[in-house]
Amino acid sequence: MSKTMCSTLLTLITIISLLICPASTSKGPSVVLDQGLFIGRTSGNTETYFGIPYVKQPVGNLRFRQPEPPEPYEGIYNATEFGPICPQVFESTPSIGPEGLDQQALIDLLLSVFSNVQDNVAEDCLRVNLWVPQGSREGENLPVVVWIHPGAFVSGTSSSYDGGVIVERSIANGQPIIFVSLNYRLAAFGFLPGREAKKAGITNLGLRDQRQGLQWIQRYIQSFGGDPRRVTLWGLNSGSISAALQMLNNGGNAEGLFSGAVMQSGFPLPLNNYTQLQDTYDALVSNAGCMGSLDTLECLRRIPLDTLMVAMQTIPPETLDEGWEVTVDGDFILEQPTALLTQGNVAQVPYIIADTDDEGTETALYFPEIDTEEAVRDWIATQALPGASDAAISQILALYPDDPAEGSPFNTGNTNQIFPHFKQIAAIEGDLEFHGLRRFFLNHTSNLQPSWSWVSQLYKDLPGIGAGTSTDLVNLFGPGELTDYLINFVAHGDPNNGTGLFWPRWTATSPQVLVIANGSTPLTIANDTFREEGTNLLISLLLENPQ
């Protein structure tokens, strides 16, 4: 008998003995993948399996390389703890002076829901986490939702979000689902730009990681009782952009990897080409001490993680702002996402696309120095809409005047004007990057596939922020009303199930949204026509002057 056969036989004997007598080794649930036994935990009505590697880990010579499927699993794995978080940029919050906003209210709100944060940073971070209804086994064919975490492609981790809340609610609703979250490479590790990255085929590695994670789900989810034919992507901010880009990848061919998508507060803006961010690559090489190397990419692979982390963190802020981001590479992303949408190159699966009412308030906090109309005009011409003419900027300011009563947070009168022009900037930013792009996505796809949209007005009373980005996530992980619509959608491809308020599809001829707000009547249906003239103008200018 060969050494390999002997090893395989011993592994199988070990697994069989553990399955027959699980109490002798662990009180937790277990699942077999290939020849590996994964031991998890039980919490309430949910089984959890954390930290399962879904690719060969990008360490050593695999740093800055495309993800590869893992080797077949062998042996016994402890799947009771989250894996490490991926190397990332640790961002600071905006500083707006003693007269400005105390952000503690927002921070406390979010931490009350998302509390599984840990600080173990390592490159072997490409892991999946699963929350499974207790006792679920192969053949049950439960629907699956895949959470793609936010963080602007430079920060964040899947372990911050408790999928057990969603699964427990689904069980209570009689529609049990499986929740999967995954990490993907971030910042320089996941979105290295430049000619060298393009030549090596390693642009947009973070998105490629996600794609490989979806392939892992197709291969293994049945072992957990899941249905590989019913997999819904779900993301917030950069996670939402990721879901949209997965829909636009491969000419819109989903390859059977997913059957639906839920996108919150994040849709693809016109992107830089990989060559436009060459300075970022060069700065990283210089900071890392690799400038004199004949093969700078190979040098970046060899240096210690700590050295590379410091080099990444110390890139000048003006470069960092637009340094680690998704790029048009002619490969994973063939051309501008807006062009792919207009061409119909999008996966034709049902989807939900959503915004909060006051998108843009968090971003506006970074611009306290904009205190005159001239400064606002300069911000539009150089940052919000580079290349916009003076006449176009005048049109924008006519529709978005410096009147706090008309700014964002909307419908809050003269309150929340944290500094001069704050509410004006927040209104423009929110309608340009969020509401305008949401409507653009809907207008170009709702005729191809079932589409729904919500707008959240929850937490309007948050000082300065109002119903800002991510505040609706508190309801979803509450759980709350949106949780039930989400579960319905994951289970059936339709957020309605015959009970509660009927949520109509969004169509170009009847653009209607579900509105959720605090109060005795939290759910209503409204026409999606607010500030329509403004969003139409902003998007038309955006398309006239892509990156």
Token pair of 136, please?
A: 């679920």
Taking only the tens of pLDDT, the chain with its 547 residues reads 343 333 333 333 333 333 333 333 347 999 999 999 999 999 999 999 999 999 999 999 999 999 999 999 999 999 999 999 999 987 655 555 434 444 555 555 554 444 445 578 999 999 999 999 999 999 999 999 999 999 999 999 999 999 999 999 999 999 999 999 999 999 999 999 999 999 999 999 999 999 999 999 999 999 999 999 999 999 999 999 999 999 999 999 999 999 999 999 999 889 999 999 999 999 999 999 999 999 999 999 999 999 999 999 888 655 444 579 999 999 999 999 999 999 999 999 999 999 999 999 999 999 999 999 999 999 999 999 999 999 999 999 999 999 999 999 999 999 999 999 999 999 999 999 999 999 999 999 999 999 999 999 999 999 999 999 999 999 999 999 999 999 999 999 999 999 999 999 999 999 999 999 999 999 999 999 999 999 999 999 999 876 5
| 358-380 tens-digit pLDDT | 999 999 999 999 999 999 999 99
pLDDT for position 314: 83
Token pair of 46, please?
A: 């949910």
Token pair of 354, please?
A: 């959503």
Which residue ranges form the domains of the chain, and what is each CATH number? 29-87+122-349 (3.40.50.1820), 368-468+481-547 (no CATH)
pLDDT for position 145: 99
The Cα 221–Cα 269 span in angstroms is 33
The Cα 206–Cα 212 span in angstroms is 10
Q: Which of 175, 107, 58, 114 is nearest to 491 (CA)?
A: 175
pTM for this prediction: 0.92
Q: What letter would DSSP give residue 26?
A: -
pLDDT for position 315: 82
The answer to whether 428 touches 420, Cβ cutoff 8 Å, is no
Q: Chain-wide mean pLDDT for the chain?
A: 90
Where b means 16+ CB within 10 Å and e means fewer, 297-319 reads bebbbbeeeeebbebbeebeeee
Where b means 16+ CB within 10 Å and e means fewer, 23-52 reads eeebebbbbbbebbbbbbbeeeebbbbbbb
Task: Fill in the amino acid letter for 23.
Answer: A
DSSP collapsed to 3 states, 174-186: CCCCEEEEECCCC
pLDDT for position 319: 45
Where on the phi/psi map is residue 387: left (φ > 0), alpha (ψ -120 to 50), or beta? left
Task: Fill in the amino acid letter for 540.
Answer: S
pLDDT for position 320: 42
Distances (CA, A) of 365 to 264, 426, 448: 21, 8, 38
The answer to whether 179 touches 525, Cβ cutoff 8 Å, is no
The Cα 448–Cα 438 span in angstroms is 16
Q: Where are the alpha helices (DSSP H) in 343-480?
A: 361-364, 373-379, 390-399, 422-430, 436-445, 471-476
The answer to whether 79 touches 38, Cβ cutoff 8 Å, is yes
Secondary structure (DSSP) of 477-537:
TTT-HHHHHHHHHHHHSSS--SSSS--PPP-SSS-EEEEE-SSSS-EEEEES-TTHHHHHH
17, containing H or E segment: helix 3-20
Q: Which of 215, 54, 179 is nearest to 476 (CA)?
A: 179
